A and B are shown apart, each in its own frame.
Chain A
Amino acid sequence: MSVLKTTAVILTCLGPITAHAQTVLDSPELYPGEKALYEAATKEGMAVSFDTGPTWANWAAEFAAFKKRYPAIELTYNDIGSAATVLALEKARNRPQADTAYYFAASGVDAAAKDVIAPFKPVNFDKLPEVFRHPEGKWFTIHSLTIAFVVNTRLVKNVPQSWADLLKPEYKNSVVYLDPRSTGVGQVLTFAAAYAHGGSVDNVQPGIDYLGKLHQAGNVLRVVGTTPYAQFVKGEIPVWISYENDGLKAKYTDGLGDQVAVVIPKEGSAAAPYGISLVKNGPNPNAGKLWLNFIMTDLGQGIFAQGFVRPAVPGVQLSADVAAKLPPAPQVHPLDVQKAAAKKAEIDAGWAKAAIQH
């Protein structure tokens, strides 16, 4: 029985959480060499995973499934943010503390430039779109997050379907989004707005112009520096430009149901790659590889989908109810972070000019 089939079988009899995953020793291998790698990792006994906050992107479920399959390995993690992760790796260059580092993929590009991460090609690496991986595997995308309008249907009469809709007077003082200078989401939504207005990853100005227009129209309620998820759930925010999974989490996990509409704007949007790396000279290299491989198997990728996060590996089998919540969105462009990173200074300066109170 092939790996894919096994996974499909596992996935079809899946409950809400991967309750049926067995330990590696009493089930078929997910990929060739899994058992041998597990044995080597057992000698190390732990893996240190940087920046995988349990409430973010369904990491809690990934941890649980990993622990179930590899009982001899302790996973420890922290949640410090992408830029801080790169900084931590740099500061600890001589005695690395971390085995793996997870971040917005642009930080992966930074980390590769600073030479603090090691090349490693996990299972399914070759299936990834080219803009979603470093050629030698110094970083690779494990899931993407798509920019969408997360709408509180109690506070707005009509759910906006497009970027053009958001400029209408009926959305005065309604829109909240994250600061493009300081957050990954903010940068990605600027590119999303650029793609929707004839721009691209090489031409972000239309996106900056659009956000400027939104401010001039008086439709921006606030620009925030940290994710206002709790405020949204409390009913403080009519329209929040954010990632699709924030909206789906509010809708299905936090029980807001029909009070929330999640709309991928129809003119176009962008999907941000979130990547992970093996740390150079990390203390537990085998356990680190075991963890990275697990995340990239169809099983690990499927767990992301259950947390409403789109898997990076194409063609992963999803159960019908999960697939229904993540409908195909052809207007979404995968973001090339290498090129996007080159535009950071332009976004910082341009956005500040367009939006900040001088």
Chain B
Amino acid sequence: MRPGSFLMMAAPGAAVLIFFFIVPLAAVSADAFTGGGSAFLRVFQNELFWAGLRGTLILALTASVFSLAIGFAVALHLSRLREGLRTVLVFFIALPLTFSGLIVAYGFILSYGRAGFITQIVAFLGIDPVDFSRLLYSPEGLAFASSYYLIPRVVMLLLPILINFDAAQMTAAESLGASRGRAIVDILIPQILPTAFTAFCLIAAVVIGAYGTALALVGTQVNILPLQLYSMVSESGADFPAAAALSLLLMAACTTVIAVGESVAARHEG
């Protein structure tokens, strides 16, 4: 390809990156570094920040491990189905990716909330609706609701690998006396591990930065960084440099996690 045409092809993507990422990032950075980094100091000195960071990482880890396990099982099942049936199922599994986090939260409230229809059904079975709905509004419930749109991402990433996996290797291992589980652990898992790790990092980054679902579901007494950032910039917040600093830190965390995942994937492809 001639250099000129290469530039032509790259221009639209570069323009999007510049106008919707680099420029806003520069503006936020300018805010964050007013006062020579004192804003970062204020963020670090706030004891809530460290507790929030811990809460964020715990949430990301829980939701990601859970979603990865379920996503793997779903993808494995899909990879063994007929092509036509698989396409239909993948279409439905991909639907949650198109919803905003707020809508997902609201859907869960309509199902599992105090007056939700699933809550009403279990109430007939003698389970207290107050206790049942409390689960949804807790950090665990947030992890559960987040998995709703994380699992499809995992499935989309793992499915191609599992479809292309040569089942003959498994048959060979089993004919040599390995048990089914043994064959999965020794042959299948090592081959999909790099992709699984990339998927894990990607969804962890999504959870670390997501705030819509959290805001609508658990309330701001749960200490995670996106909600902390929200409380700094909303109605009565006033310390914009500190908020800008925190948003840069949050972005750095997401970027780091994704970079780790990508570098692992790149090493294995090379």
Contact B113–A181 (Cβ < 8 Å): no
Are the CB atoms of B238 and A182 closer together than 8 Å? no
B232 to chain A: closest residue by CB = A182
The answer, yes or no, to whether B235 is at the interface (CB within 8 Å) is yes
Is B113's CB under 8 angstroms from A225's CB? no
For B47, give the chain A residue with the smallest CB separation.
A358
Partner of A231, one of B48, B109, B230: B109
A110 within 8 A of B: yes
A173 neighbours in B (Cβ, 8 Å): 130, 134
Contacts of A355 in B (CB 8 A): 221
Q: B161 within 8 Å of A by Cβ? A: no
Least CB separation from B139: chain A residue? A357
Pair B221/A81 contact, Cβ less than 8 Å: no
Tell yes or no: B218 within 8 A of A by CB: yes
Asked if A35 CB lies within 8 Å of chain B CBs, one says no
**Are A236 and B109 touching (Cβ within 8 A)?**
yes
A187 within 8 A of B: yes
Tell me if A220 counts as interface (CB < 8 A to partner B): yes
Judge whether B234 and A225 touch: CB under 8 Å: yes
Does B227 belong to the interface (CB within 8 Å)?
yes
Residue interface mask B96-118, A partner, CB < 8 A = 1: 00000000001001100111000
Question: CA of A226 to CA of B220 in the docked complex: distance in angstroms?
Answer: 9
Contacts of A87 in B (CB 8 A): 240
Across-interface contacts of A226 in B (CB, < 8 A)? 215-216
Chain B residues within an 8 Å CB radius of A222: 137, 218-219, 221
A317 to B134, CA, bound (A): 46
Q: Does A153 contact B (CB under 8 A)?
A: no
B231 an interface residue at 8 Å Cβ cutoff? yes
Residues in B with CB closer than 8 Å to A352 are: 48
Distance in angstroms from B138 CB to nearest chain A CB is: 10
Q: Which residues on the A side are within 8 Å of B219 (C-beta)?
A: 176, 179, 222-225
Interfacial chain B residues near A7, Cβ < 8 Å: none
Report yes or no: A356 in contact with B238, Cβ–Cβ below 8 A: no
Asked if B230 contacts A225 (CB within 8 A), the reply is: yes
Would B137 and A221 count as touching, CB distance under 8 A? yes
Residue B89 CB within 8 A of the other chain: no
Q: Mark B206-230, 1 if CB is under 8 A from A, else 0.
A: 0000000001101111110001001
Q: Is A268 an interface residue (CB 8 A)?
A: no
- A96 vs B251: C-alpha distance in the bound complex, in angstroms? 32
A135 within 8 A of B: no
Measured CB to CB, the closest approach of chain A to B147, in angstroms, equals: 21
Residue of B nearest to A238 (CB): B114
One digit per residue, 1 when the CB lies within 8 angstroms of any chain A CB and 0 when it does not, for chain B 17-32 equals: 0000000000000000
By the criterion CB–CB under 8 Å, are A183 and B221 in contact?
no
Are A235 and B114 interface neighbours, CB within 8 A?
yes
Q: Which A residues are CB-close (under 8 A) to B236?
A: 82-83, 104, 106-107, 181-184, 186-187, 344
A181 CA to B239 CA, complexed, in Å: 12
What residues of chain B lie closer than 8 Å to A356, measured between beta carbons?
48, 51, 221, 223
- A234 interfacial contact with B, CB 8 Å: yes
Residues from 221 to 254 in A contacting B, C-beta threshold 8 Å: 221-226, 230-231, 234-237
Whether the pair A83, B230 counts as a contact (CB closer than 8 A) is no
A3: CB under 8 A from chain B? no
A83-B233, A83-B234, A83-B235 are known contacts. Are A234 and B218 too (CB-CB below 8 A)?
no
Please indicate the chain B residues that have their CB under 8 angstroms from the CB of A237 in the complex.
Answer: 114
B residues 33-67 with Cβ under 8 Å of A? 47-48, 51, 55
B237 at the interface (CB under 8 A from A): yes
From B51, B106, B114, B223, A155 is in contact (CB under 8 Å) with: B114
User: From residue A244, how far is it (CB to closest CB) to chain B in Å?
Assistant: 19
The answer to whether A223 and B234 touch (CB under 8 A), given A234-B109, A235-B114, A356-B48, is no
> Chain A residue with minimal CB distance to B214?
A225
List A contacts of B51 (CB < 8 A).
356-358
> Within A83-140, which residues are at the interface with B (CB < 8 Å)?
83, 87, 104, 106-107, 110
Residues on A with C-beta less than 8 A from B227 are 225
Q: Mark A178-192, 1 if CB is under 8 A from B, else 0.
A: 010111101100000
Report chain A residues within 8 Å CB of B55: 357
Q: Give residues 133-156 of A contacting B (CB, 8 Å).
A: 155
The distance in angstroms between the C-alpha atoms of A83 and B114, with both chains bound, is 33
Residues of B within 8 A of A230 (CB): 106
The distance in angstroms between the C-alpha atoms of A37 and B38, with both chains bound, is: 49
List of B residues within 8 angstroms of A110 by Cβ: 238
Taken together as a complex, chains A and B put the C-alpha atoms of A356 and B174 apart, in Å, by 54
With known contacts A231-B109, A358-B51, A81–B235 Cβ distance under 8 A = yes
Are B238 and A225 neighbours in the complex by a CB distance under 8 Å? Answer: no
Question: Which of the listed residues B113, B232, B238 has the most CB atoms from chain A within 10 Å of its own CB?
Answer: B238
14 additional contacts, CB 8 Å, given A222-B221, A357-B223?
A83-B234, A155-B114, A173-B134, A182-B234, A182-B235, A187-B236, A221-B134, A221-B137, A225-B219, A225-B234, A234-B113, A234-B115, A356-B51, A358-B48
Please list 14 pairs of residues, one from A and one from B, whose beta carbons are closer than 8 Å in the complex, sorted by A's number: A83-B236, A83-B238, A104-B236, A110-B238, A181-B220, A181-B231, A221-B137, A222-B218, A222-B219, A231-B109, A235-B115, A236-B114, A344-B236, A357-B221
Top-3 shortest CB links A-B: A222-B219, A235-B115, A182-B231
